């Protein structure tokens, strides 16, 4: 069974569209994260939720909106997609005060 699963794995869309990426974890963790890996492979935290509460919101455009319906799910919605949003987005989970973080397989978002 996949511990952290993201869907879709690939997302190709036009500039200006709105899209969502879903993430689910079955590890019983209380904290979930979104990371962005850019074209140079640099990984940076975007958001984190602990028990459905937003605890990290790094300097991310407000076109990005995370939503956590429960502590096993953390979705990422992106409005008005721009070329610069092309990247691989990783979901991860862990216990807040324990580690390590377990990562999903990533979603490659390509903006045409």
Of the pair 3, 15, the CB lying nearest another protein is at 3
CA distances from 103 to 10, 72, 80 (A): 16, 14, 26
List of residues contacting another protein (CB under 8 A): 31, 33, 35, 40-45, 48, 50, 55-56, 88, 90, 92, 94, 96-97, 99-103, 105-106, 108
DSSP 45-100: EEEEEETTEEEEE-S--TTEEEEEEETTEEEEEE-S--GGG-EEEEEEEE-TTS--
**Smallest gap, in angstroms, from Cβ of residue 37 to another protein?**
8
Of the pair 1, 14, the CB lying nearest another protein is at 1
**Smallest gap, in angstroms, from Cβ of residue 98 to another protein?**
9
Regarding beta strands 19-25 and 10-13, do their DSSP bridges make them parallel or antiparallel, or are they unpaired? unpaired
**Smallest gap, in angstroms, from Cβ of residue 106 to another protein?**
5
**Smallest gap, in angstroms, from Cβ of residue 71 to another protein?**
14
Of the pair 18, 53, the CB lying nearest another protein is at 53
Regarding beta strands 19-25 and 73-78, do their DSSP bridges make them parallel or antiparallel, or are they unpaired? antiparallel
């Amino acid at each position: 069974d996949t511990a952290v699963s993201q869907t879709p794995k690939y997302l190709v869309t036009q500039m200006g569209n709105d899209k969502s990426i879903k993430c689910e974890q079955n590890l019983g963790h209380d904290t979930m994260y979104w990371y962005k890996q850019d074209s140079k492979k640099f990984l940076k935290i975007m958001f984190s939720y602990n028990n459905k509460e937003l605890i990290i919101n790094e300097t991310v455009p407000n076109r990005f909106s995370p939503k956590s319906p429960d502590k096993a799910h953390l979705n990422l919605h992106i409005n008005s997609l721009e070329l610069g949003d092309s990247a691989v987005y990783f979901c991860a989970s862990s216990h807040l005060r324990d580690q390590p973080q377990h990562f999903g397989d990533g979603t490659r978002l390509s903006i045409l």
